[in-house]
Structures are given as C-alpha cells and as structure tokens.
Amino acid sequence: MQANNQKIVVLGTGGTIAGVSASANEGLAYKAAQRGIDDLLEVALGHQKHWPEALSDYQFDSEQVAQLDSKDMDFETWIHLAQRCEHWLAQSNVSGLVITHGTDTLEETAYFLSQVLSTAKPIVLTCAMRPANFKDADGPQNLRDAMLLAATTHEMGVCLVAAGEIHHSQYVQKVHPTRLNAFDSGETGMAGRVHNDRVEWLESFNSPKTTAKLRVSQLPPAAKWPWVEIVMNHVNASALHIEALVQAGVKGLVVAGTGNGSMSTKLKQSLELAQKAGVEVRLATRCNQGSVVPTENHIFDATGGLSPVKTRVALLLDMVSQLQSH
C-alpha cells in the first residue's frame, strides 16, 4: 500500500486521444490535439463507477507539455518532454509517469525516452485510435489502463499500453492504420495485458535491459542535432536521392534493406561513396519481424533488432554523443 502523498503524473502531448471530430459518429476524420490533458484526465477518472484498488491511494497531477499531432513531432518537443520527465521523476512523491501521445510516431518517442532516461520508475505511454468525442472513444480506457500500469509496475523501463495490450518500447511498432489494437511487438510479442483493472504479465516475456545512451542534460538544442534520413531498397531502386542528400549535407543515413539487409548494387555503391564522404550509415531491414544477421556480405553496421525508424533514433543519439565528446 502506497502512502497517500504518492502520485502519478500524466503528461499530455496531443494526438488522437486529444482529438475532436465533427460528430460523435465520425471516428476517422478528425483534428488531433484539441483537448487539454486536464480534460482527458477528468474523463478517465470518471470513466467507470468502480475505481481499481491499486489506484485508490494515489493522487494525480498533470502537465500539458505539448499539443500537436504526432505526425508533426520534432526534436525540440522531444527535448522538452525528456526534461519534464526528468523533472517529475526526481520528485520523491512521484511513483510513475503516464504520457499521452499520438499513435503515428509513438514508437519513436518511446524508444527515444528509453535511451535518455535512467529510472526504476515506470514511464507509460498511451494513445487512442479514435478522437475524444467519438461515441466509443478508446482514449479514456487506455489512459485509465496506463495509470494502473504506472501504479503497479517497476523496473520495466518505458512501455506502451493500448487496447489492453502492454508493449515494451524496444519492440513496439504501429502495424495497422485504423484498428484499435494498432500496435504489435513482432516475434517478441506483447509484454502483458490489462484486463478488468488487473495487470497480467506474460510469462514468456523477458524485459530487455536498456541503458540510456545520454543524459537529458547532454542533449544539445534541436538546431544542433545531426541530419539523418532513411532510405529504402526496392525494385529498380535509384541512387540519385542518396547523392542529392549527400550534396545537401546529410550526416547520417539508415538503409531499410530487403530481407536480411540486402540492397541493389546501385544503392550499395552510392552508400559506400556516402560513407567515404563522412556520412554515417546504418543498416536495418524493412521486414516487420526479425533482425539483420550480420554476414561477410554486410559492409554497414546493423543495429540489432531495431526497426528502421528506431535505428534512426539510435544513430541520431550516437552522433549526438560523439558531438558531445569533442
């Protein structure tokens, strides 16, 4: 039982969970990031008559960190969010954090936070696939589940809960554009479930040991972050865009290779030239499951098990770290 001064802090960043549509019957055409976190929290707290016993001794606080559609998420907002997380996590009476976020780039934000925050306290992201005023909005239950998870979880790192499914930041990806359970963790599978106000962990899940690459205080201003892009191998892949990116000053490239990181001869040759010109190159696979297994045919480093977008985050932070060391 927690002391009655312990609290869960809910940080709002916008997204569909805060979105509004023209009518309660419209679930797909809406404007994201319209309702404040206090409004969302009020609805979630009153969502059901019976309050979970695990939450009965907690107080709740909230802060509107940002208000945007997650397709427009940027480095400046990431830095600010990480700073506010660090601020609240340092408070002795804060047991955990919940972050509301849009679904489109949630996996990138979750992975980023896992790489810059070192804490035993839970950091739980949640979201929605339907706007706040939809007749069957999924946001209130997701937010309620996230608060329950934050109150009962320790040493889990950064995770996501949505549609009753718990996913770890290391593995989670958005895999469907419209369904309520839009996230998946590939071969690893989900970490657990929230059902009837109970958190159930799957015995098959082993939480990965993640170590922060940087401290929040080491993050430079967003304008000083390196420029890193993602390119993909596909049938008749051209190398012209790589040449244009190098000429324009790109500092890092992630290639989403086919299969086990393969790429066309043209693409490979262009990336080799980019690397010789000083561009950092990382390899990932465009496959939704599995990871690149290095062989003698691979000439670029692979970031084991990470999707292309998370490989980009990893490369960004590696390059930021290198900048800080000089």
SS (H, E, C) 197-243: CEEEECCCCCCCCCCCCCCHHHCCCHHHCCCEEEEECCCCCCCHHHH
- N-term to C-term CA, the chain: 48
DSSP state of 18: G
Cβ-Cβ contacts under 8 Å for 220 (sequence gap 6 or more): 320, 323, 324
Cβ-contact 109, 125 below 8 angstroms: yes
Residues forming the active site: 16
Cβ-contact 103, 70 below 8 angstroms: yes
300 Rama class: left (phi>0) / alpha (psi -120 to 50) / beta? beta
SS (H, E, C) 156-198: CCEEEEECCEEEECCCCEECCCCCCCCEECCCCCCCEEEECCE
- The DSSP code sequence of 32-93 is SS-S-HHHHHHHHHTSSSSPPGGGTT-EEEEEEEEEE-GGG--HHHHHHHHHHHHHHHTSTT
Tokens standing for residue 62: 């909230």
